[in-house]
């Protein structure tokens, strides 16, 4: 059984590369999570998980992460990614991710609405929403990523 994460931070980044994969790698590096082994998780924020602006995770760590990423090879295309945390008053919360062909403001608004809907369908009262978003105008190969990084 894996331990339950106790802290969470948000990360977002964009990058250009010689291929879609290297653009994605650059976006991860720009977000500050490029040297971690991300384990993709779904959308539940553990109870009592504390939000922190920053914390260190050792390079190479297996890191539970809820993330959205988008890559493009269409020069001039605008791509965006956003992630949102929804906190309840005394219980678990939700994490939502969004990627699309829009600017960061639209991505942020859409992910915020998804957090609100996630609480509504669970019949839970939303205490706080925190969102991080990024956009990027593709030059050759571009990528964006937005992530909720969970740690112990």
Q: Is 37 a catalytic residue?
A: yes
Specify the number of domains making up the chain: 1
The yes-or-no answer on residue 61 being catalytic is no
Q: What is the mean pLDDT of residues 3-8?
A: 96
Of the residues 50, 77, 88, 97, which is catalytic? 97
Q: What CATH number does residue 60 fall under?
A: 3.50.20.10
Domain that holds residue 104: 7-151
Residue 2 domain-assigned?
no
pLDDT digits (tens, 9 = 90+) for 37-91: 999 999 999 999 999 999 999 999 999 999 999 999 999 999 999 999 999 998 9
Is 72 tagged catalytic? no
Half-sphere exposure of residue 9, counting CA atoms within 13 Å on the CB side? 14
Q: Is residue 128 part of a domain?
A: yes
Check residue 90 and give its pLDDT: 87
Which among 16, 43, 61, 77 is annotated as catalytic? 43
97 an active-site residue?
yes
Q: Is residue 1 in some structural domain?
A: no
Is the per-residue pLDDT at 1 higher than 90?
no
Q: Is residue 27 part of a domain?
A: yes
- Whole-prediction pTM value? 0.96
């Amino acid at each position: 059984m894996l331990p339950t994460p106790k802290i969470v931070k948000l990360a977002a980044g964009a990058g250009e590369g010689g291929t879609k994969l290297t653009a994605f790698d650059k976006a991860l590096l720009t977000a500050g999570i490029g040297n971690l082994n991300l384990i993709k998780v779904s959308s539940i924020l553990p109870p009592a998980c504390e939000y922190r602006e920053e914390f260190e995770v050792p390079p190479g760590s297996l890191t539970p992460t809820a993330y959205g990423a988008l890559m493009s090879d269409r020069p001039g295309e605008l791509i965006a990614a956003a992630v949102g945390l929804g906190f309840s008053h005394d219980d678990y919360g939700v994490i939502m991710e969004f990627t699309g062909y829009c600017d960061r403001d639209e991505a942020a608004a859409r992910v915020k609405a998804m957090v609100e809907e996630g609480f509504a369908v669970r019949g839970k009262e939303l205490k706080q929403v925190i969102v991080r978003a990024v956009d990027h105008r593709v030059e050759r190969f571009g990528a964006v990523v937005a992530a909720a990084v969970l740690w112990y």
